[in-house]
Amino acid sequence: MNADIIRLENITKTYIVGETEVRALRGVSNIIPTGDFVAIMGASGSGKSTLMNIIGCLDKPTSGRYFLDGEDISTLSRDALAGIRNRKIGFVFQSFNLLPRTTALENVELPLIYANVSHKERLARARASLAAVGLKGREAHKTNQLSGGEQQRVAIARALLNKPRLILADEPTGNLDSKTSDEIMNVFERLNHEDGISIVMVTHEPDIGARAKRRLHMKDGLVVRED
Amino acid sequence: MNVFRILRVSLRALARNKMRTFLTCLGIIIGVAAVIAMVSIGAGARAAVESQFASMGTNLMFVTGNWRMMGGARTQTGQFNRLTAEDAKAIGQLPSVEAVSPSVSTRAQLIYGNNNWNTMVQGTGESYPLVRKWDIEDGAFFDESMVRGAAKVCVIGADIKKNLFEEDEDAVGKTIRISRVPFLILGVFKSKGESGGFGSRDDFVCVPYTTALNRLSRSEYLQSIDVSAVSQAKTKEAQDEITELLRIRHRIPDGGTDDFVVRNMSEVAEGAAEATGILTILLGSIASISLLVGGIGIMNIMLVSVTERIREIGIRMSIGARPRDILLQFLAEAIVLSLAGGLLGIILGIGVSKVLKYIPVFASITTMVSWSSVLLAFAFSGSVGIFFGFYPARKASKLDPIEALRYE
């Protein structure tokens, strides 16, 4: 186990939109130690989503180096990145991103399908994971029969399934009311606290950001402030 | 991911949209069913032709004029068709020949009482029943003296009896008019039945060929001579003997082209089989087009499905699906669709082939489901799935996970 879950060295990302270059990240360097709970905050267009995509191995930086759990990610192939996402990262999205017309259990077991785990073990682990987020007995419910909070819990159960080192949450409470948001944040805090899972969360809501251990404030493609 | 896991994922995705899955399959179902039903009609026709020839006897041969000799400068040395009764007699003397029957045929109007019937009048020799392996049901065939005397006698086919006479009426001994000439009925042939789409074989009447030449066709030449060899093994020998004999009788110089053709039954059967083979290919290829259209339907739906499920693809990629996993999933969906369609199509196609003969319009069509066509249609539908499924699947696997996740 590495001491730093994430090490970013002068990460830049430039998009070419038509004729113009858009410099979404202009050199972000940061270290997030294992077991940290960090909120990335900033207005839209500040580059926080781009940074999130790079940390989540969904995108590659234009320049700079990114080490996840001690491994240099910047040079890996698409297939290798898919493997990293599968084994080390759990995603939680604003819009839940569950498969429609599919049961909670089937949604949760999805990552294990790509990890070559047997059917029996997949079901057992998916059940356990659902129970861990308080959804025991809801396994056979289809996603459209669940409330927003329940759907986000299913998404968290899915993210937890492969025992990831890191959970990436992109505006996890953006579509939820404040009471449900609070419950979801409790789940995150418990995971961070009890299970030692590192969490990086993007949010623009100050009260949600306040529940993280640390906050990185971004503006114009740079981290401008930490507290 | 192993095969079962891919299949499980694909089946789940298909089960989520059952109606669309069924409609997509339908194209393949109809295509495969059409191929199988059409090929079974072709194969049925072929089998019917073959059995018909087999029932005529395998040691049967035909001597006909060589039609390719018609026209051109050669007509001055010999008329295009100069087989004579003397030729037939001489062939009958050959050691490997069992019997001969000269043959002239024409169509004529039959009248009995108030009933009219237009049919084939076959002028034959007295050995016709022996040469053609055709028994007399009732009465007798005409004998040699009647042929020599050009007697106005006839033997009628089972259909003629049915059409001109009352059911319990005895036809033997009655007189019918053939082209206004009265003929005495000596006997009735045993029925041989339908011949698989080529009409009834029982719809004809036999008269002595001498009578046919004098009274009906008014020609001195025979159209053909039916010959039966003493055994099937001797047919080749008989063919050679007949050729040699006729070349001498027709005074054909060495190196000259025969003005006649001797064909044995298997050669004639081959020709007919070739014709039905072409029919099978024709029907099969028309049906294949519908299978192709079904395949395009699959591609169409898969493309729609990829666009509709971009978000799902993004989710799968974000949790660790490699591009290859996505490719295989969508490809497997297309293959499952087309193979399921193929399977149902086979059942439907066989069903149609079996039921066809109970529908009055198609009653005369015999069908025969060939297992090779079933196998071929199934393999073809599988390849259609791979071929038309690949492009959409590739498109899905090339998606950028970030774009896909953001897609609304």
Contact B321 A82 (CB under 8 A): yes
ipTM: 0.91
Residues in A touching B322 (Cβ below 8 Å): 78-79, 82-83, 114
Residue A217 Cα, gap to closest chain B Cα (Å): 23
Q: Which residue in chain A is spatially nearest to B17 when comparing CA positions?
A: A101
Q: Which residue, among B209, B103, B204, has the nearest Cα to B158 in the 3D structure?
A: B204
**Which stretch of A126-130, A137-141, B219-223 has the lowest confidence by average pLDDT?**
B219-223
- Interchain pair A114, B322: CB under 8 A: yes
Report the residue of B319, B327, B398 to disrupt the A interface, i.e. the one with the largest count of A CBs within 10 Å: B319
Nearest residue in B to A78, CA atom: B322
* B314 contacts A97? CB cut-off 8 A: yes
**Buried (b) or exposed (e) across B222-248, using 16+ Cβ within 10 A?**
bbbbbbbbbeeebbebbbebbbebbbe
pLDDT digits (tens, 9 = 90+) for B381-397: 888 888 889 999 999 99
> Mind telling me how many Å the CA of A98 is from chain B's nearest CA?
7
pLDDT band at B235 (very low <50, low <70, confident <90, very high): confident
- The beta-carbon neighbor of A78 closest among B1, B318, B323 is B323
CB contact under 8 A, A115 and B312: no
Number of residues in chain A = 227
Nearest CA in chain B to A89: B319
Residue to mutate among A76, A88, A89, A97, with most B CBs inside 10 A, is A97
Residue A158 scores a pLDDT above 90:
yes
Task: Please give the Cα distance from B393 to B339 (Å, whole number).
Answer: 17
Per-residue model confidence (pLDDT) at position B78: 45
Q: Using an 8 Å CB-CB cutoff, list chain B residues near A101.
A: 16
Closest Cα in chain B, distance from residue A116 (Å): 6
Average pLDDT over residues A187-193: 91
Contact between residue A92 and residue A169 where contact means Cβ atoms under 8 Å apart = yes
Contact assignment for B405 to A110 by CB distance below 8 Å: no
Closest to A85 (Cβ–Cβ): which among B312, B320, B323?
B320
Determine the distance in angstroms separating the CA of B317 from the nearest CA of chain A, rounded to an integer: 7
Contact A59/B at CB under 8 A: yes
Please tell me which residue, B272 or B70, carries the higher pLDDT value: B272
Tell me the β-bridge partners of A198. Answer: A166
Give mean pLDDT, residues B33-41: 88
| Cβ pair A197, A164 in contact under 8 A | yes
Domain locations in chain A?
Answer: 4-226
- For B57-83, what is each residue's pLDDT tens digit? 678 888 888 755 444 545 444 445 578
Q: What is the pLDDT of residues B191-209, one digit of tens each?
A: 877 655 556 778 899 999 9
| CATH topology for the A4-226 domain | Rossmann fold (3.40.50)
Q: Are B224 and B103 in contact (CB under 8 A)?
A: yes
Q: What is the pLDDT of residues A199-227, one digit of tens each?
A: 999 998 899 999 999 999 999 999 999 88
Which of the pair, A115 or B80, is modelled with greater confidence?
A115
pLDDT higher than threshold 80 for residue B313: yes
Q: How near does any CA of chain A get to the CA of B29, in Å?
A: 27
Q: What is the pLDDT of residue A182?
A: 92
Token look-up 């948001």 returns A181
Say which residues have a Cβ less than 8 Å from residue A67's Cβ, sequence separation at least 6. Answer: A4, A6, A7, A9, A73
Give the residue from chain B lying closest to A118, CA to CA: B5
A34 within 8 A of A1, measured Cβ to Cβ: yes
The C-alpha atoms of residue A185 and residue B365 are separated, in whole angstroms, by 75
Residue A41's pLDDT is what? 93
CA torsion A188-A194-A195-A200 (nearest 10°) is 30
Name the residue facing A158 among B5, B317, B319 (closest C-beta). B319
What is the C-alpha separation between B314 and A44, in angstroms, rounded? 22
Report the SS3 class of residue B399: coil
Q: How far is CA B209 from CA B49, B65, B190, B264, in A?
A: 27, 17, 21, 22
Residue of A nearest to B312 (CA): A99
Could you tell me the sign of the dihedral formed by the alpha carbons of B78, B82, B84, B89, in that order?
positive
